Structure 1
Amino acid sequence: MPSRTRNRRAAVGLAAAALALPLALGADAGARPGTPPTGAAVGSGWTPEDQTALSRAVLAAAEQAASGPAAPDARRAPRPTEPATPGVDRAALDAAARTLVDDGAVAVTARVETPALRWSGAEGVRRLDHRSPARTTDRFRVASITKPMIATLVMQAVERGALSLDTRVEDVLPGLLPGQPEVTVEHLLSHRSGMPTGTDSLLAARMADPTSLDEFFAVLGEDYTDADHVAAALATPWLFPPGSGFGYSNSGYVVLGMMLEEVTGRDLERLLRDGVLRPARMRHSAYPDEPQSRGPFLVGAAYTGEEGAGWYSLGHFDPDVFGAAGAATSTTADLLSFTDALLLGRLVQPATVADMTTPRSTDVLEYGLGVYRVPDPCAPPEAPVYLYGHDGASFGTLSVALSSPDGSRSLALGVTGRNLSADPEALYDLNALLVPMLLATC
């Protein structure tokens, strides 16, 4: 693993107003018209950071898997003795996980569960420049996979009558979004509010020198309040009138968290514990508000390239940087427990699940209410079937969790060591593991 240097030269494109650090996930197949290519930096004209780059890479992986050798019909339950798709057995999955670490990931933990196959694997080390091996039970930052958890709490409140999808932010938190009185719960859940994502502006506001990588990574360890998130978002022009487009917004989910606390009188950590983590049996998951310091944990790391300062360990990362948009930590087993519990109607009513998984937008992603869908590679193209879930990208960790609607076929993975350099091919291609995992669900 390359060692970190003290070089203070800025990475290509690092700018105060955008901090559009690129995401290297291999080829950008499947990108939708009008969206930036994976790895685009500020200097290429795309600002702020492309918040859907990982989601589009997951979509591309599903499409790549679907275009491969014919797979069994996903709707037919395989016999217990039936092997996984030819060429995608446990050994192949183990090798794919090793490939990611060989190509530069710090750690990989991954899991696939089907009626015919139960596989979990881990490679690499828990922390940059340390020797402790990664384990399949290790926790990691799931980033935006927090969003479907928050969406679940919101829909529980809708079922109780404390909120409705048409409830306006103005009705619950008057004056919070000046000039935008028509923003509703549904707009925020589906990223159709027009509210800027906010995270880029939040960090830039704390930096005196926008060219300093050391300073950028230092502010990732500072405390931020919900009010800070909202103020940072409002310092950026509104993207579009509410309901008229799709714009991924971290700040929108922070606002949802604020609304939940207001209508329930309880803090978000307790709401998540009682409404999601416990009923979904997510025994090793949490919603922390301080950097991780105890227990088996995969610590994030960022690679800034030769033009930057090499590797940075993100053990100091404060989850307040994302708040309700992405502060949760979990394990691959817990993520599968969550997707199963949600899709099978154990957290919300079946009609609510159907509502959450119905896309409100197809412009960039087929995104519903805190959940998106991608084509199921195991289904015949003439009869489309989907996998449902979410992904997450912090500054040092990537994560994905997807499941079939009946919960019988699911996958989850976490990878530490994110490429933030200007070279999109500087590290691993996530799809080298994700595509085999998708095929293994067939």
Structure 2
Amino acid sequence: MPGPTPPTAVRTAFPAPGNRDLDPSGAERLQDLLTKITAYPDSPSGSRGVTAAVVTDHWTWSGAAGTDIRGTPLRPDTTMPVADITKTFVAAEVMQLANAGRLNLELPLSRYVAHPLTRNNATVRQHLSMTAGVPDFDGSDIRALERTIAAAPSRRWSLAEALDYYTGRIQPPDDSFYYSNVSYILLGLMIENITGQPLAAALRHDLADPAGLRHAAFQDAEKPQPPVVQDDNESCGAPDGYLPCRGVASAAAAFAGLAADAPTVARWGYQLYGGRVVPGDLVRQMTAGDGEYGLGTMRFTRQFGSADAYGHGGDLPDHTSLLVVIPQQRVSIAVILADGGRNIYRSMSELARAVQPLLG
């Protein structure tokens, strides 16, 4: 069952996103923070390049500083892979289908997906909250995947093929949290089985188009839109139009396949956690709970100020991303770094603090 409703979770839908630009003095203050990030690129919280965006109910802002790994200057609208932020779309789609009566969150996922990894009878809700007893791929699984992809980096993978490389042992579902990309592959398969559409088509029709996300790409069904960041993934050869390449993007489609620019990610956060594309009662379920993870949603308890926040992070070898929405303040912030494994939380904290006095 869903946990208690957080006091700051959305109760009424946000108004439409602001349609004016942030004033020049405020924009300069935020841009200075991005320049600071790139001034010390080798520091734990620095980066060779960064893009960021803020969406509020009154104004929007986006900026960029530095370059990608190949030295190309970044623009605010540069498309980059945003990895695990994909999970917010998959979870939102599952909630929409449940709301339409096409699935039941409390039934075992095995009702919708026949696979050895669903035989422990964990429910759909448990897979969403990563309490299904299905640990993630381990290091040897990932290395085997990488070797296969490297042999044919532009080959398209189906959602189920990556599961062939999983060697973990599933446990009985007992509400213990295991961060699990595997659960989200299974949820992606469920969406395809129920809708009769490819995952990308369902996410586009039900979520991205209603939210006005024209610069998002659900790979590999959709190609990233230019300008596109350059990558240097060891499993990929020459650029093939996908991020980082078609093999990686399609194998990770259900849990980390999204490519987008920072303004698109910030707009998505505002539309989703503001109750504008998914009804507020479903958003409250996604953000509810006592731990750090809800349903496809990371919970940031007063981590970015005095109010609770929600969203998701993502990490790839060449990119780190973070989406944070503070419902009490009707603000959504996205940061994408052109480096992997960086302390993006510090950058987000500084940006969130700088935004506070600009909210009016």
When normalised by structure 1's length, the TM-score is 0.65
Show CA shifts across 1:242-284 (max 9, x none).
1330001111101001001111111111101111110111110
* Cα pair distance change 1:184/1:105, threshold 3 Å: same
Question: Is the 1:403–1:409 contact (alpha carbons within 8 Å) kept by the matching residues of 2?
Answer: yes
2:324 maps to which of 394, 402, 424: 402
- The secondary structure found in structure 2 opposite 1:89 is helix
Question: Could you tell me which of 234, 237, 251 is aligned with 2:169?
Answer: 237
Correspondence for 2:194: 263
Distance 2:141 2:157 in 1: 8
Query: Is residue 186–residue 369 contact of structure 1 (8 Å, CA) maintained in 2?
Result: yes
Specify the alignment match of 2:208 in structure 1: 277
* Cα 1:282/1:207, change in 2 over 3 Å: closer
Q: Write the letter of the residue equivalent to 2:302.
A: D
The answer on whether the counterparts of 1:193 and 1:241 sit within 8 Å (CA) in structure 2 is: yes
Determine helix, strand or coil for the equivalent of 2:84. helix
Does 2:350 correspond to 1:436? yes
CA offsets 1:37-56 (integer angstroms, 9 cap, x no match): xxxxxxxxxxxxxxxxxxxx
Aligned: 1:300 with 2:231: yes
- Residue 350 in structure 1 maps to residue 280 in structure 2: yes
Per-residue Cα deviation, 1:296-333 (whole angstroms, up to 9, x for no partner):
11233469xxxxxxxxxx74363023120110111111
Q: 1:131-146 maps to which residues of 2 (within 5 A)? A: 132-146=72-86
Matched residue type, 2:331: R
Q: 1:224 & 1:140 partners in 2: Cα distance?
A: 20
Q: Which amino acid aligns with 1:388?
A: Y
Partner of 2:293: 367
* TM-score, L = length of structure 2: 0.79
Deviation at 1:401, TM superposition (A): 0.5
Matched with 1:195 is: 134
CA distance in 1: counterparts of 2:165 and 2:142, whole angstroms: 9
Bigger mean CA offset, 198-207 vs 251-260: 198-207
Alignment of 1:405-420 (within 5 A): 405-406=327-328, 408-418=330-340
What corresponds to 2:52 in structure 1? 110
Sequence identity percentage: 26
Residues in 2 aligned to 1:207 and 1:429: alpha-carbon distance in whole angstroms: 25
Aligned to 2:161: 228
Deviations 1:169-198 (A, max 9, x none): 221123x02673411110110000111222
* Root mean square deviation, CA, Å: 3.1
- Tell me the secondary structure at the aligned position of residue 261 of structure 1: helix
Deviation at 1:222, TM superposition (A): 5.3
**Is the alpha carbon distance of 1:261 and 1:179 closer, same or farther for their aligned partners in structure 2, counting shifts above 3 Å?**
closer
Q: 1:324 aligns with which of 254, 269, 287?
A: 254
In the alignment, the residues of structure 2 paired with residue 435 and residue 108 of structure 1 have an alpha-carbon distance, to the nearest angstrom, of 15
The structural deviation recorded for 1:158 is 0.2
1:57 alignment partner in structure 2:
none
Structure 1 residues 345 and 220, CA gap change in structure 2 (3 angstroms): same
One-letter identity of the residue aligned with 1:120: S
User: What displacement does 1:346 show?
Assistant: 1.8
Give the superposition deviation at 1:351: 0.9
Structure 2: which 5+ runs fail to align? 1-21, 235-242
Q: Distance in 2 between matches of 1:218 and 1:335?
A: 32
2:266 matches 1:336: yes
